[in-house]
Amino acid sequence: MSATSAAPALWPALLARADHLRDDLCLVGAKGHRVRFADGREALCGTSGLWNVNLGYGNEAVAEASARALRDASYLSVFRYSNTYARAAAETLVGLAGPDRFARVLFSTSGGAANDAVLKLVRHVHAIEGHSERRIVIGLRGSYHGLTYGGFSLTGENLGQQLYGVDPRFVRHVKPNAVDELNDILSALGDRVAAIVVEPVLGSGTVALDDAYVNALLALRSRHGFLLVADEVATGYGRVGPMFASSAWPDAPDVMLTSKGLTNGAAAASAILVSHRIAQAFENSDQVLVHAETQAGTPASCAVISAVAEEFTRLDALGNGQRIAAVLDAGLTSLAARLPVPTSTAGRGLFRTLHAHAPDGAPVGSAVVAQLITAVREAGAVVHPGPGGIQLIPALTYSEAEVAELLGCVERGFAQVATDGGFARPVLEPAS
């Protein structure tokens, strides 16, 4: 049966229905730091895919590792079995994150699914330790932990949780970087809190947790006995400087999740690293964590994880990423003087937001942000929308020339929106 052109078979995620057939939004290929669209246009990727292609597109070693694993082992599970690819990848991850901090690794298939698993894991740990009353998990307002039911409940932005019947009973949210609020909620609920889950830099708006807040989290953990979880799905793999953002914390989280840069986008994989204490709790009690996924820990995904780790070293991705972050920082500072509206920046490393403001300082609304995204793309670069501005999330392997090109596209995009009168109209509309 032939499909009518008005009803495409593909239902793209979170894309307005009117845009489903647009060839200028349909990707056909990618190489290096550039993506190609179905209308024939090419653009500089200022987003590292979905913040995951940290080493750029078309990495040969990663492609070869995946192809070899598929040829040699096809599919092997870690569901009531183990496999050597998963063993090797787990060893690699513990080595990268620090064997003093983490003991064991569980594999999952996405950031959301990993957060689901973590909600079970933290409650199970407390139950093993005789505290099954500890069931509440605290997240941060404005955070993003995915759209699976568990991850969605933890996500601190209102994205329709109520509509979908997401169960909020065992989740609370507090304001990031507000130590008082943390103290208050723990005073009220402390002995029922299983865990606090934080993104070291919140992806939405790239809001970094400040040192005082991290120190308070660590001190309060000792006082109240909750587990501290770092959701490094986005901040891992050099995105904000070090391999993992929480490695710069004075003490380790009990659990760390990572996903995006883990495979450079080449496989649906995530990893949950757990502390020695958690590993020991399960070891001593001989209990089984009831979480498993058919496609977790497969040879191809784990071979990719191992290859990405090697490529990070071979390409000096962390070193280059830190150099490029400094170039981006300087570039953003000088760009601000040339933009037609006041701006401010947020974030760390290569995880940045450029906020645009009305003359009175109010952030621009989502309609203006959408215009900026389109105008910057028309100027030659893909950037992401953020609250009150655009997010710049380039690959760690960018060159200085590519940073200049990206900022040039941003400058032309802002100029175009100004010419179109975009900043004059709904500037005062509240940010979404």
Ligand X SMILES: Cc1ncc(COP(=O)(O)O)c(C=O)c1O
| CB 380, CB 347: distance < 8 Å | no
Q: Does 146 bind ligand X (CB under 6 A)?
A: yes
Q: Output the residue with the shortest Cβ distance to ligand X.
A: 111
Q: For tokens 């330790």, what's the residue? A: 129
Minimum separation from the CB atom of position 97 to ligand X (A): 16
Q: Does 203 bind ligand X (CB under 6 A)?
A: yes
Q: Does 240 bind ligand X (CB under 6 A)?
A: no
SS (H, E, C) 404-416: HHHHHHHHHHHHH
Minimum separation from the CB atom of position 111 to ligand X (A): 2
Choice between 273 and 417, CB closer to ligand X:
273
Q: Does 391 bind ligand X (CB under 6 A)?
A: no
Choice between 110 and 247, CB closer to ligand X:
110
Site for ligand X (CB under 6 A): how many residues? Answer: 14
Alpha-carbon dihedral sign for residues 14, 19, 23, 25: negative
Candidates 23-31, 188-196, 229-237, 277-285; binding stretch for ligand X (CB under 6 A): 229-237
Annotate each residue in 273-312 with x if it binds ligand X (CB under 6 A) or - if it does not, as one string.
----------------------------------------
Q: Which of 348, 345, 347 is nearest to 356 (CA)?
A: 345
Q: Which of 74, 127, 119, 14 is nearest to 300 (CA)?
A: 74
Euclidean distance between the first and the last CA atom of the chain, given in angstroms as a whole number: 41
> Angle CA(174)–CA(127)–CA(231) in degrees, nearest 5?
40
Q: For the chain, what's the residue count?
A: 432
Candidates 39-47, 161-169, 227-235, 366-374; binding stretch for ligand X (CB under 6 A): 227-235
Q: Does 234 bind ligand X (CB under 6 A)?
A: yes
Minimum separation from the CB atom of position 114 to ligand X (A): 7
Choice between 118 and 369, CB closer to ligand X:
118
- The span from the CA of 298 to the CA of 267, in Å, is 10
Minimum separation from the CB atom of position 252 to ligand X (A): 18
Choice between 199 and 293, CB closer to ligand X:
199
Q: Which of 173, 113, 118 is nearest to 143 (CA)?
A: 173
Question: Among 34, 90, 137, 199, which residue sits at the site for ligand X (rule: CB under 6 A)?
Answer: 199
Using CB under 6 A as the binding rule, the residues of this chain from 311 to 340 that contact ligand X are: none
Choice between 54 and 110, CB closer to ligand X:
110
Using CB under 6 A as the binding rule, the residues of this chain from 92 to 121 that contact ligand X are: 110-112, 115
Spatial strand order of the sheet with 27-31 comes to 27-31, 34-37, 42-45, 381-382
Q: Does 144 bind ligand X (CB under 6 A)?
A: yes
Question: Among 135, 145, 173, 221, which residue sits at the site for ligand X (rule: CB under 6 A)?
Answer: 145
Choice between 148 and 371, CB closer to ligand X:
148
Q: Does 139 bind ligand X (CB under 6 A)?
A: no
Choice between 112 and 413, CB closer to ligand X:
112
Minimum separation from the CB atom of position 227 to ligand X (A): 17
Choice between 85 and 144, CB closer to ligand X:
144
Minimum separation from the CB atom of position 115 to ligand X (A): 6
Choice between 112 and 388, CB closer to ligand X:
112
Lookup: tokens for 268: 């649906």
Q: Does 231 bind ligand X (CB under 6 A)?
A: yes
Candidates 95-103, 131-139, 226-234, 291-299; binding stretch for ligand X (CB under 6 A): 226-234
- The span from the CA of 221 to the CA of 198, in Å, is 13
Lookup: tokens for 210: 């400040």
338-373 in b/e form (b: 16+ CB < 10 A) is ebebebebbbbbbbbbbbbbbeeeebbbbebbebbb
Q: Does 233 bind ligand X (CB under 6 A)?
A: yes
Candidates 40-48, 95-103, 145-153, 341-349; binding stretch for ligand X (CB under 6 A): 145-153
Minimum separation from the CB atom of position 231 to ligand X (A): 4
Choice between 134 and 260, CB closer to ligand X:
260
Residues that bind ligand X (CB under 6 A): 110-112, 115, 144-146, 151, 199, 203, 231, 233-234, 259
